[in-house]
Amino acid sequence: MVCSHCAEVLKQKLEDNDFRVQNIDLGELELAEDLSPKDYQRLLSVVRNNGFDIINDEGSKTVERIKHLIIKLVRSEQPLEGNLSDYLSDNIHKDYQQLSRLFSGVEGKSIERYFILQKIERAKELIVYGEQTLSEIAYALDYSSQQHFSRQFKKETGLAPSHFKEIKENRRTAIDQL
């Protein structure tokens, strides 16, 4: 799940199928009871029919945790204190080099690249909303300057943010497609 709305929808679908959801959060699901193999298959069916999947191996779980931490960070109002590698290591309690190798192996891109892509998608969203200036967006996404933001935005999208703002086409990519 990549957003709170997704979590709410999945929770409702699970409850409609008689699963007692104890906790559901971005990327995590906890049921109130243990499942029989038959109920697990039914759960798997409901989850997959709604566009999600269940991840059981530790490496994939760690990659999902990295993704969700980055998404939360990009969407938070608080700027990152320190650097991304320390933030991830502190939250996952693993060495960053290990996290980086795992992420690149599973996703085919670096953590830093994924972080940049998330920031650009958030910037597109904020530009389309039209409630903030480009300078405010650059600041909100923790860029050192509007020029740095503009260069990175153009590198990733092929358009200057000001041009993107003018055309206001829906050029966003779904978060789970990054």
Which residue from 79, 69, 73 is spatially nearest to 143, judged by alpha carbons?
Answer: 79
Lowest-pLDDT choice from 23-27, 75-79, 147-151, 161-165? 23-27
Shared domain for 69 and 123, answered yes or no, is: no
| Dihedral angle sign, alpha carbons of residues 129, 134, 139, 144 | positive
Shared domain for 24 and 38, answered yes or no, is: yes
Shared domain for 91 and 127, answered yes or no, is: no
Shared domain for 84 and 137, answered yes or no, is: no
- What domain range includes position 16? 4-49
H helix or E strand, kind and range, residue 29: strand 28-31
Entry pTM: 0.70
Which residue among 112, 130, 154 closes a domain? 112
Shared domain for 100 and 151, answered yes or no, is: no
Shared domain for 124 and 172, answered yes or no, is: yes
Backbone angles phi, psi at 120, to 5 degrees: -65, -40
Q: Is residue 2 within 8 Å of residue 175, measured between CB atoms?
A: yes
> What is the pLDDT confidence band of residue 66, given thresholds at 50, 70 and 90?
very high
Provide the 8-state DSSP code for 51: T
Please report the pLDDT score of residue 58 as a whole number.
83
H helix or E strand, kind and range, residue 23: strand 21-25
Shared domain for 26 and 10, answered yes or no, is: yes
How many domains does the chain fold into? 3
Please report the pLDDT score of residue 153 as a whole number.
95
Helices (H), the chain: 4-16, 37-49, 58-75, 84-92, 96-107, 111-129, 134-140, 146-157, 161-167
Shared domain for 98 and 121, answered yes or no, is: no
Shared domain for 146 and 122, answered yes or no, is: yes
Please report the pLDDT score of residue 60 as a whole number.
84
Shared domain for 120 and 108, answered yes or no, is: no
Please report the pLDDT score of residue 26 as a whole number.
64
| Each residue's pLDDT tens digit, 86-106 | 999 999 999 999 999 999 988
Which residue from 141, 99, 144, 95 is spatially nearest to 116, judged by alpha carbons?
Answer: 141
Shared domain for 122 and 167, answered yes or no, is: yes
CA atoms within 13 A on the CB side of 68: 17
Shared domain for 92 and 132, answered yes or no, is: no
Which residue from 70, 56, 57 is spatially nearest to 26, judged by alpha carbons?
Answer: 70
Report the C-alpha gap between 103 and 165 in whole angstroms. Answer: 33
Please report the pLDDT score of residue 171 as a whole number.
53
